[in-house]
Amino acid sequence: MEKELEQISTVPGVGGSFLCDNRGDVIVSSNPAVLATVTMNTIGREVGRAFVALQAAGQDAPRLEFAYNTWRLLARDIGDAVLFVVCQPAADMAMVRLSADVVIGSWQKNAAAQKRLQRHRAERSALVNRTALDHGSWNSWAIIQSRGS
Amino acid sequence: MPEGLTGSLAQLPLGDLLKMLGAGAQTGRLELTSGLDTGDIFLAGGAIVHAESGPDWGEQALFRLFSWPNGQFRFEPGLPAPDRTIDRPLEILLAESARAAGEREAMRRVIPSMDTLPRLARKAPAPSVTIEAADWEVIALIDGQATAGAIAAELGIDDFEAIRRLYRLRLSGLIDLAAPQAAPAPVRQLAGAQFFQALTTAVAAALGPLAEIIIDDAVEDLGFTRATLPRDAVASLAERISAEIRDPEKRVRFQQTMLAMLRQQAA
């Protein structure tokens, strides 16, 4: 899996990439890591929840893109995990998305990668509960769920 | 104070938040995030005692955090500060921050962009001029070509420090500032006929005999023709076409082929 992340890093404008499980724990990251582990954990956890919220609201999305002044972040949902690619604003995002798709495709056919993903498997919906969220987020989640159902 | 107080700086500005924590004589860490930027402010008995943001710490870090237009905060009560780098009371720090923000705004009006081109003034502003050593480093790099951004990079200082030095030199009349010149539009290389031949083969392998029509539709959707499609739109074209491929294996194979072609083009 490390080798595939290296391929993404060769795309012009890509700073690095990492894969988080649904709890936000880093499964694998490009070397050197593009962000501090704690930052990757936070991004992984929060974006994982965002994917659950979108799903619950009936707006299933396979990917999210976050654009900041100095960064772009592609989050690609693969069910048991989320692949993140950190880019410069000028990166050709179509090429970045294409590279991410190719990497995910190769992991899907790779037994070792699948085994590694299985070890980190955690149902996202089970991770969204009252104790894991602050009061405001829990209320928002309840509203989303009630509207989605 | 509730455990793990969180919120948005857009709704509760940092100054007001610190006043509130100060009034409650709180001790702990205020964690701030804005995009991928992070910072920490530590309080002890309501007083700010330490701040960290990127490479900065102390008051410099605090003022940097005050300059964030938006972001999120989280207060963790009880956490002790790892260091003590700030001694001045909150009211003075807030006043200082407001003054620094005003100064930043004034500087931004004079030097609105890091593409601004500084030039030495033709005439000295006075018979004798005193120049700070830091400003001299800037003067030594002014050659009529180097922009504010290039000077900052050459000196290894951040944009704000470069702007501050150029602003001082401008106020003293030692330099003039020219608006950035618009760069000529770069010539976009075209994808070319050879690319379309290879693309047709790849699309035909994935989607069959309708390849030519699918390619033409996708090119048209992007606002080009085969004759005008630039190389930097090839990835977008590949993405559009791959969305048409329903078979996951064929889609990945097509994407791999396109990625290899894109890498070849870039090499």
Q: Which long-range contacts (CB under 8 A, 24 or more apart) does A72-77 make?
A: A73/A43, A73/B36, A74/A100, A75/A43, A75/A47, A75/A51, A76/A100, A76/A101, A76/A104, A77/A51
Highest mean pLDDT among B35-44, B173-182, B183-192: B35-44
Check CB contact under 8 Å for A92 and B235.
yes
For residue range B23-73, what is the model confidence (pLDDT) as tens digits?
Answer: 999 999 999 988 777 899 999 999 999 999 877 889 888 988 888 877 889
Check CB contact under 8 Å for A73 and B252.
no
For residue range B70-129, what is the model confidence (pLDDT) as tens digits?
Answer: 788 999 999 999 999 999 998 898 888 888 778 878 888 888 888 889 999 888 888 888
Query: Encoding tokens for residue A59?
Result: 């707006």
Nearest to A92 among B4, B6, B232 (CB): B232
Q: What are the CA-CA distances from residue A120 to residues A28, A55, A82, B123 (Å)?
A: 11, 21, 12, 69
Minimum CA–CA partner of B258 in chain A: A98
pTM of this structure:
0.54
End-to-end CA distance of chain A: 37
What ipTM score was computed for the predicted complex, to two decimals? Answer: 0.76
Query: Residue B181: which pLDDT band, with cuts at 50, 70 and 90?
Result: low
Nearest to A39 among B36, B232, B263 (CB): B36
Residues 6+ apart with CB under 8 A from B33: B39, B71, B72, B73
Residue of B142, B141, B139, B150 lying closest to B114 (CA atoms): B150
Nearest to A102 among B6, B36, B252 (CB): B252
Determine the distance from the C-alpha atom of residue A78 to the mean position of all C-alpha atoms in its chain, rounded to a whole number.
8
Question: What is the rounded distance in angstroms from the CA atom of residue B195 to the CA atom of residue B176?
Answer: 49
Is residue B173 within 8 A of residue B117, CB to CB? The reply is no
Q: Which chain A positions have a beta carbon within 8 Å of B262's beta carbon?
A: 95, 98
Is residue B224 within 8 A of residue B230, CB to CB? The reply is yes
Specify the DSSP class assigned to residue B79.
P
Query: Encoding tokens for residue B50?
Result: 């330490």
Query: Residue B183: which pLDDT band, with cuts at 50, 70 and 90?
Result: low
Is residue B149 within 8 A of residue B115, CB to CB? The reply is yes
User: A19 vs A23, which has greater pLDDT?
Assistant: A19
- Number of residue pairs across A and B with CB atoms under 8 Å? 51
For residue range A117-133, what is the model confidence (pLDDT) as tens digits?
Answer: 888 777 776 767 777 77
Determine the Cα angle at B255 with ends B253 and B257, to 5°: 70
Residues 6+ apart with CB under 8 A from B74: B4, B5, B6, B30, B31
- Position A51 pLDDT exceeds 70: yes
